């Protein structure tokens, strides 16, 4: 089953960079890049920050790159070529440029949507009960409330295992290489958003025991786990994705 793909680069590109030891916006933060005890003495708040800002930045970069590429073809089709002099193929090229312009507008609209969500709800943070989680055991998570959490309505959260596969798609005489996200396992729940606004949403999942579902970013194809949270809201909808460190137990992968 294919998982829904969010715009932007693959989450595996900066998996390690996103893991942090404490909530940068939470109580007890004293600045700096190192982990510091917060809450109870000697305890650390482990978790991962959301990637909404990175997705928005990647979408704007994609818009700029596609726009620059399209500008060259637009100049050739509308400014250099002449339909009478160069034949009817000019109109076909102009039609292709015009259609690509509509796609470019969709890319810009998505980038603006991501940016609006980042500005409205903040970066977001997912707390881990332990690090890492092991297959066959329980994963305890807590989703920190975003800004304006009280304006959210029904909230859907999904923990899934995703495998990215390279697919060779043939369309007529052309062949395209694309990366598809396949969902290997998932647990989806719908909860009242008031639970999130009341101080954070606690989640507990019984992970499958299959060691073949463990995170492996160096494999071909790569495999990882993520938690997605989506909620209806007035204006900009809330959508956040967090990578979750789920690995196979060393005992299950050890050779006899």
User: pLDDT for 159-189, tens place per residue?
Assistant: 999 999 988 877 666 777 888 999 999 999 9
CB atoms within 10 A of CB 59: 23
What is the widest separation between alpha-carbon atoms in the chain? Answer: 80
* C-alpha to C-alpha distance for 153 and 231, rounded to whole angstroms: 6
pTM recorded for the entire structure? 0.67
Which of 109, 204, 190 lies closest to 152 in space, CA to CA? 190
- The pLDDT tens digits of the residues spanning 111-143 come to 877 777 777 888 889 999 999 999 999 999 999
Spans of all domains in the chain: 11-50+123-249, 57-118
Average pLDDT over residues 219-243: 88
Confidence band for 252, pLDDT divided at 50, 70 and 90: low
| Residue the block writes with tokens 């996103």 | 18
Contacts of 84 (CB under 8 A, 6+ apart): none
* C-alpha to C-alpha distance for 171 and 177, rounded to whole angstroms: 11
Task: Find out whether 191 and 139 touch, Cβ atoms under 8 Å.
Answer: no
- The DSSP call for residue 79 is I
- Please report which helix (H) or strand (E) contains residue 194, including its range: helix 193-197
Give φ, ψ of 185 to 5 degrees: -160, 145
Q: Evaluate if residue 226 carries a pLDDT over 70.
A: yes
Architecture of domain 11-50+123-249: Sandwich (2.60)
191 half-sphere exposure, CB direction, 13 A CA radius = 17
* C-alpha to C-alpha distance for 143 and 207, rounded to whole angstroms: 18
What is the torsional sign of CA 236, 27, 188, 214?
Answer: positive
Confidence band for 82, pLDDT divided at 50, 70 and 90: low
Q: Evaluate if residue 105 carries a pLDDT over 80.
A: yes
């Amino acid at each position: 089953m294919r998982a829904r793909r969010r715009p932007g680069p693959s989450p595996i590109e900066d998996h390690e960079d996103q893991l942090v030891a404490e909530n940068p916006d939470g109580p007890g933060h004293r600045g700096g890049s190192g982990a510091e005890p917060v809450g109870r003495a000697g305890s650390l708040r482990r978790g991962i920050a959301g990637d909404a800002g990175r997705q928005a930045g990647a979408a704007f970069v994609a818009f700029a790159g596609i726009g620059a590429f399209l500008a060259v073809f637009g100049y050739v089709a509308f400014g250099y070529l002449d339909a009478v002099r160069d034949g009817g193929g000019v109109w076909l090229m102009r039609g292709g440029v015009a259609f690509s312009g509509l796609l470019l507008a969709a890319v810009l609209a998505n980038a603006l949507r991501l940016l609006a969500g980042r500005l409205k709800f903040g970066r977001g943070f997912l707390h881990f009960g332990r690090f890492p989680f092991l297959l066959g055991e329980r994963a305890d998570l807590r989703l920190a409330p975003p800004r304006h959490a009280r304006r959210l309505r029904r909230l859907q959260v999904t923990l899934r295992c995703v495998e990215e596969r390279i697919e060779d798609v043939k369309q007529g005489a052309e062949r395209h290489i694309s990366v598809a996200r396949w969902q290997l396992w998932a647990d989806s729940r719908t909860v009242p958003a008031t639970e999130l606004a009341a101080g954070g949403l606690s989640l507990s999942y019984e992970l499958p025991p299959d060691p073949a579902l463990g995170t492996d970013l160096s494999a071909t194809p790569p495999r990882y786990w993520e938690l997605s949270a989506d909620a209806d809201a007035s204006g900009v909808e809330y959508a956040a994705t967090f990578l979750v460190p789920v690995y196979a137990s060393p005992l299950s992968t050890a050779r006899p």
